[in-house]
Amino acid sequence: MDRVPSLTTRQQRLLYAVCRDYILTGEPASSGRVVKAHGLPWSSATVRQEFAVLERDGLLERSHHSSGRLPTRSGLEHYVGSLGGVAQLSPHLATVVDRGLAAAGHSVGDEVRAASAVLSEVAGCVAVSFVGASRGGRIDTVDVAPLVLPRALVVLGFADGSTAMRTVSIEALDDDPAIADRQIRTLQGRLRELCVRRTLDEALARLRALQQAQQARIDDALGEALRVGLIVCAGASLDPLWLQVAGQRTLAGGDAVAPAGLGDVLGLLEDYERLAEVLCQLVPDGQALERRARVRVGVPLGRPMSPAQSVRLTVVGCRLPVRGEGSSEDPPSQRATGMVALLGSDRMDYARAIPLVEYAARSLAAHGESTGDSGSDPAP
């Protein structure tokens, strides 16, 4: 979350009032309406002066001079930060989550499916629950197959027989197909030199070290191999064993995603490996010990063709205390991970969503410990 200027008590109350009105109505808030709706002890003129300060600091915005104010992304993040340790899940909703998990089968897959279904219905958002393992083993092969230029498919083959695939853009490819083919073969050779006979952790460490030490003397082909290798190895590090998405239909009926970007988001929700990777980047391991939800407002998802086409959703996610995840000092290749997350509009009811996600994560972990690890097919 970006650092914001220190706010007075009055400015905080006004900012939070505008945020709450925006979440409830989606409409700009005028000074008079804020004073009346929230019973504030200040005049409209005083409120307008404070609005101007909040607008100057990047926490509020307005479409034109005479319109009301809306919270910016930074303003919403400030509001969300104020909810930490305050919002509590109602006993009724806690009972709903408990009953939903109690009705699940005795496998990790059943528990994950139940958690996603319950969260989606209660929150009215897209819900994602998953348990995965960091991919281990050494890389045996690296192959690059051209798609529609400038995109290519990079396939990593591991010693245990598993594979990981990632579509990437290859920069500076020549328009001549013959030359482009030679460039791709050169890139493939460099990637093999950098990655083969190494684990993902070792390959990532080597690629990052070389990238940091990169000098003008390093040729363009090696520079491109480093860039592509970092993208592929980082994205191949997680193997989602059980993953369930529920509530996709809410995207079409809400205002979270423009019709032009709906296909990108739905495509991401169907690409489980990529979805798990994106969520893990948004909710890093540092949150695991606290078991608190991480909120990211208006983050770009999917694979936009340009910044103007970026599809943005708000993510409320919480890591799972997965059994057998090992010590935090273990390398990633020896640890498991899991998450419960909600994806929706920036008008999500954060005061409800945050404790709901945290409670579901704790309950899912506790239910898993009591039911044991009986087998289940992954949800590919």
- Widest distance between CA atoms in the chain: 73
pLDDT greater than 60 at residue 73: yes
pLDDT of 372 above 50 = no
DSSP string, 70-86: EE-HHHHHHHHHHTTTT
Question: At the topology level of CATH, where does 91-135+238-371 sit?
Answer: Beta-Lactamase (3.30.450)
Q: Which amino acid is at 280?
A: C
Distance, first Cα to last Cα, the chain: 33
Instruction: Please state, in angstroms and as integers, the Cα–Cα distance from residue 87 to each residue in 1, 189, 291, following that order.
Output: 19, 54, 15
Q: 99, 1, 136, 109: which is closest to 338 by C-alpha?
A: 109
Q: Taking all residues of the chain, what is their mean pLDDT, rounded to a whole number?
A: 81
Does residue 163 have a pLDDT over 60?
yes
For 207-266, what is each residue's pLDDT tens digit? Answer: 988 887 765 556 777 888 898 998 888 777 777 888 999 998 887 666 666 666 677 788
The share of the chain scoring above pLDDT 70, in percent, equals 81
Out of 55-64, 130-139, 318-327, give the one with best mean pLDDT. Answer: 55-64
| Strongest mean pLDDT among 29-38, 76-85, 334-343 | 29-38
- According to the model, what pLDDT value does residue 254 have? 62
Q: What's the CA gap between 212 and 210, in Å, rounded?
A: 5
Higher pLDDT, 260 or 45: 45
At 272, list the tokens: 């489980």
**Boundaries of every domain in the chain:** 9-82, 91-135+238-371, 139-235
Three-class SS state of 239: strand
Q: How far apart are CA 305 and CA 303, in angstroms?
A: 7
Domain with residues 9-82, CATH architecture: Orthogonal Bundle (1.10)
- Beta strand spans in the chain (E): 60-61, 70-71, 126-134, 139-146, 151-158, 163-169, 238-246, 294-301, 311-319, 336-344
Mean pLDDT value across residues 288-312: 66
CB 119 within 8 A of CB 130: no
- The answer to which of 69-78, 110-119, 231-240, 296-305 has the lowest mean pLDDT is 296-305
Task: Supply 140's token pair.
Answer: 């045996």
Top-level CATH class of 139-235?
Answer: alpha beta
Q: What is the predicted pLDDT for the residue at 259?
A: 61
